[in-house]
Structure formats: structure tokens, C-alpha cells
Structure 1
């Protein structure tokens, strides 16, 4: 008697084959007896596209890790010399650490590309909660930086105290993350291993729309409200109050990168969730949402590089390091040729008594 075969559609981004009674050992390509050649070619093309995007992101993540190490080293040296860091420097350091955590969290799926991490639904939901919490903390810190640049509060203001800022920021981000976790929820058996994604399309359109509104639109609407309040306060400055601050270029560039990366990912998630309700996603659509997830994490990597380049103290420290390296190059070249004698012409001009009197 022939054994019965059961098929289950893999989630987006996964190149795993349908579950059969005799699965392929590599679990990459489906059995040719049950899949058409066109389907096999589409699956291979989607896997190649995900792998190419993964390689590009790997180089970006490596550069971001190097930039974050330099930023942390610079902050530790500055804090050790001054014994006390200013409030903007603390916000910048906290933002850099949060973006570093997001880059590290991205390795949960990058390391398994073009496949996906397999774990229990409860562990996957916990990982998604931590990622949402970290991302929200980073966006809320940008809102604090906008408040500093736009409204310029006095030195004795409560939000300038790190404890007060953390007590306001962390519970807000935790509450929003808990709401998203409740909507997402582990929908399968808690002990059965499955493919893990930060935001699976199987969670439904309600979860995708809730994340778009709570984890993306709400923080940026808050920032827009703060900037408009600063415009109302500084009417005589003709809208140039934000451009006059030394950290404004860093804030604007980082905020623009994160905005477009998060917008791209959230729109792609809502689109994929809607298509999932109409029918099964194609291989190219699964590859697209997987690449969109890499774009989400790429925003954190680019932000670290922009902080290193646009922040004035870090840029000056980096320029000094490059200058030191350049100055060491002639010394190495000189020691490499010890027998070469270079005679420098020496011209001495002397004035006679007649020239001085004339």
C-alpha cells in the first residue's frame, strides 16, 4: 500500500521542500515527481536572490560592527577624560548601542539563509518581542534628540536626567511591544519546531497593520509634532533652528535612513499579509519579503556608519586616526631604504654692513 503524502506550504523566505514521506536529504529542492520544472526553477531563483541580498548585507553588517566598536571606544575615552558625559552624548551613545543590538539580532536569520531558523513558536515570539522593543527604543531616542534640537530645554529639565528618560522610554516601548506580541502570538504548538521569522505573514493583516501604526507611524508622528512645536517656538528663525545645531546633520541623515528602511519593510509586510489571505505566496514574493527584512536591519547598520561620519566628535577622532596612519607611512618607507642618502640643499643668505646701512 502506498504511503500517504501530506504537503504544507512553507512560510515566506524558506526554501524548505514540502513535507513528503521521502524528503530530499538536502531539503533544498522538491521531489521532481511532485513539482513541475517551472516551480523548481522559481524556487532556485528565489533562493539565489535571497543569498545575494544576504551577502550584500553581510558586508554592511561587518562595516557597522567596526563603526560601533569605534563609537563605543570613543565614548569610553571621552567619558573617562571628562568624568561626565553631556546629555546629547549619552543619547547618541544609547542610540548607537541599540542599533548595534539590532544588527546582532539580525544574525538569527542571516546565518541560516537561504533557509530559516528553526525553533519553537514561543522562542520565536520572544525573539520578535525583543526586536520590536529594541527598535522602538531607538526610535523613541530619536524623538528625545528631536526634542533637544527643536525645543532646547533648560539644563535642569527632568528629561535631561537619564533615569527619568529611561523611565519614560522603556515602559512605553515595552507596552507597545506587548500589544504587538499579543496580536502576533504563537499560533502553533508551543513545543513543535517551525521556521522562525520576525514577522510571519501568517500572523494576519491585523498584526501587519498594527505594527505599521504602533511601531512605525506613532514614533514618527511624535517626532513631527516635536519639530512643529519647535517651529512654532522659533518663528523668527525662519525654520532654520534645526539646521543651526551641531548634531542636526546627524539627526536628519539617520532619521531619513531609518524612515525609508522601516517604511519599506512595513509596507512590504502589509502587502504580503494581504496576498496571503487571497492565496499562497509565490516564491518571488517570499523572497521579496525576506529581502525587505534585510532592508529593515540594514537601516541600523547604515545609521551606525552615519553616526560615525556625521557626528562632529567622532568624525574628528576618526580624521585624527587616519592622519596618524598617513604620517606613519613615510616613516615605514624611510626605514625600508636605510642606505639611501638624500642631501637637502641649504641656502644661507648673509647681509653685509653696506646692505644693512643702505
Structure 2
């Protein structure tokens, strides 16, 4: 009877993960389509203007990292409710790459917050794209290396097993370090910059965030990613605390899997928000839809030729 109940509980937990997987798969599909269209729109905009505003350029870079995160999240879609089976080294490399991409996106948001607060940036180094790229890349790699060091090697690196992005078996110290380094520090910087921007603009009677096209988009994106990152970080810390005392139940493991989907859904929703809230992207989308609609309504020269040939053949048959 106890075995039967355990099997039923495991089935219910797997059903929960499967349902979350279906929802995320749909959301990820829309996110990938939005990301591809944003890439197309970026190329068209660059060809037309040959240069982009600094804030707009940061927005495109952020979208690129979110698209990369979506692609990295496909391993969860392909294997859940089971887990990716790979070596410990491969799993650590996957987690390291996801942390770098996630941190790069969050640090780009910090740069965007500094730009909307100090327009133009008070520090001339922050106006140089190469300096900003090096700053974001080096900081992300260093933080990811610190997290990898806290996580540490676990046994034989070539041994195959289930791969989790952030397993609760890594301990409470890893969960706390991730909460501080990946969530608290980037968002404390963003909130501090935004508060400073509000005070600065209030003293000068200027418009804050609404003065540019990217301002409201930045606020919506950073707000939603904050919710997703907070949900995942708290769920991971809670799971690590429980795992330090006893083994996780099937429902608790399922909740952690759902929290991963919530984390990655931040990338999909961010791309959709940029597509529909950023006016140039939205107008580009409407333009493509109008061209497709016109193509469907108005037959091209080749179609007219085919219709004329069909009409001539029918007239010949009638006369015959």
C-alpha cells in the first residue's frame, strides 16, 4: 500500500511537471519567434541608419542574451519530467554557461539603468561599447567562476547521471551565494540607479523613463525578470534548506522543476515585451504583417499568368 501511494504521488508530481512543460513550450515558441523577428528588425534598422542610439543598442544586446537563454533552456523542454543524462563535467559546463548568459543579461539591464539615469553617462568610459562589453563579460565570468568554485567538483567528473542546473545537493551555501550574486547585487544596483534618477529628474523638473522609447520597455522587462529571478532563487534556497535536513519529496522536486520554467519564462516574456512595447519593433512587425496581407490579396505577375493560362484553356474546351 505504501509503495502504491508512493507511485501515485510520483505520477501526480510528473503530471505537474508535464503540464508546466507544455505551458512553457508554448511560451518558448512565441519567445523564439519574437527573438528571431527582433534580430531581423535589428539588422534592418542597422542597415537603414548605420548606427544605433546607445540605449537602443543595449536593448538589442539584452534581447540577444535572452534568446541565448531560451536556446539553452531547450534541454528542460526535451527531457522533463525526466532529466538530461550527461557527465558531471558536461552538466557543470551547462550550468556555467547558463549563469554567464543570465548574468550578462542582468548586467546589461544595470547599464541601461545607468544610461536612463545619467543621460549621457557621467563616466566617459561607459560611453565606449568595447569597455562596457568587457566589463559585462569579465564580471559575468568571474561571478560564474565563484559559483562554480562554491559548487565544487562532485566525485568522478566523467560519471553520467541526471543533470540539474542548480541541484539542491550543492548545499545552502551555493543557494545563498547565487541569491546574493545573481539576484541581489544586480537588482540593488538597478534600484539604486532608478531612485537616483528619480531624484535627479525631480530636481531638474525633467521626465524620467518616459522621455525615451526604451524607458518604459526597460521598466517592464526589469520588473518581470525580477519576479522570475526572485521566485527561482527563493525556491532553490528553500529546496536546499529542506535537503540539508531530509530528502526532498516528489512534489518538492516538482516545484523546483516548475521554478526553472518560471526562470526561463522571463526570457520569453522579455522578448515579447520588447516586440510589442518598443515602437520601432512594433511598427516593423505591423509593416511585415501589412506586406504579407497585401501579397495574399494581390496576386503577383506569376499568379496572373497562371490564371490567364487556366482561363484560356477553359475557353478552348468550351469552344471545342
Q: TM-score w.r.t. structure 1 length?
A: 0.80
C-alpha displacement of 1:81:
2.1
Contact 1:125 1:185 in 2 (8 A): no
2:214 paired with 1:251: no
* Whole-angstrom CA distance in 2 between matches of 1:231 and 1:64: 32
| Superposition deviation, residue 121 in structure 1 | 1.1
Matched with 1:89 is 56
Matches within 5 A, 1:10-25: none
Deviation for aligned residue 1:327: 3.8
In the other structure, the counterpart of 1:55 is 22
Match of 1:112 among 75, 79, 104: 79
Larger radius of gyration: 1
Paired residues for 1:120-131 under 5 Å: 120-131=87-98
* Pair 1:280 & 2:223 matched: no
For the 8 Å contact 2:228–2:266, the answer to whether it is kept is yes
Q: How do 1:159-178 and structure 2 match up within 5 A?
A: 159-178=126-145
1:198 and 2:161 aligned: no
Contact 1:50 1:287 in 2 (8 A): yes
Q: Out of 100-109 and 229-238, give the one that drifted further.
A: 229-238
Deviation of 1:177 (Å): 0.7
Q: Report the CA distance between 1:156 and its aligned residue.
A: 9.0
* TM-score in terms of structure 2 length: 0.89
* Residue 149 (structure 1) shift: 1.1
Q: 1:271, CA displacement in angstroms?
A: 0.5
- Indicate if the aligned counterparts of 1:151 and 1:229 stay in contact, CA closer than 8 A: no
Q: Between 240-249 and 167-176, report the one with greater CA deviation.
A: 240-249
The answer to whether the aligner puts 1:260 opposite 2:227 as a matched pair is yes
Structure 2 counterpart of 1:307, from 270, 274, 282: 274
Does the alignment pair 1:213 with 2:169?
no
- CA distance in 1 between partners of 2:232 and 2:243 (Å): 16
User: Is contact 2:115–2:121 with CA below 8 Å preserved after alignment?
Assistant: no
String of CA shifts for 1:96-120, please: whole Å, max 9, x gaps: 1100010010112221111101111
Instruction: Give how far 1:140 is off.
Output: 0.5
Match of 1:352 in 2: none
What residue in structure 2 maps to residue 347 of structure 1?
none
Superposed CA deviations along residues 14-52 of structure 1, whole A, max 9, x for unmatched, are xxxxxxxxxxxxxxxxxx9xx610000001111111111
For 2:149, the equivalent position in structure 1 comes to 182
Report what 2:315 is aligned to. none
> Aligned residue pairs: how many?
306
Equivalent residues of 2:87, 2:159 under 8 A apart: yes
Q: Secondary structure at the match of 2:162?
A: strand
Query: Over the residues paired in the alignment, what is the CA RMSD in angstroms?
Result: 2.4
SS of 1:281's equivalent in the other structure is coil
Structure 1 outlier segments of 4+, above 4 Å: 237-240
Distance 1:234 1:155, change over 3 A: closer
The offset of 1:215, in angstroms, is 0.4
* 66 and 170 in structure 1: CA distance in 2 versus 1, 3 angstrom threshold: same
1:69 paired to 2:36: yes
Which range moves more in the overlay, 65-74 or 184-193? 184-193
Q: CA deviation at 1:329?
A: 4.9
How far the C-alpha of 1:155 sits from its partner, in A, is: 9.7
Q: State the Cα distance separating 1:225 from its structure 2 match.
A: 1.5
* Structure 2: 5+ residue stretches without partners: 309-320
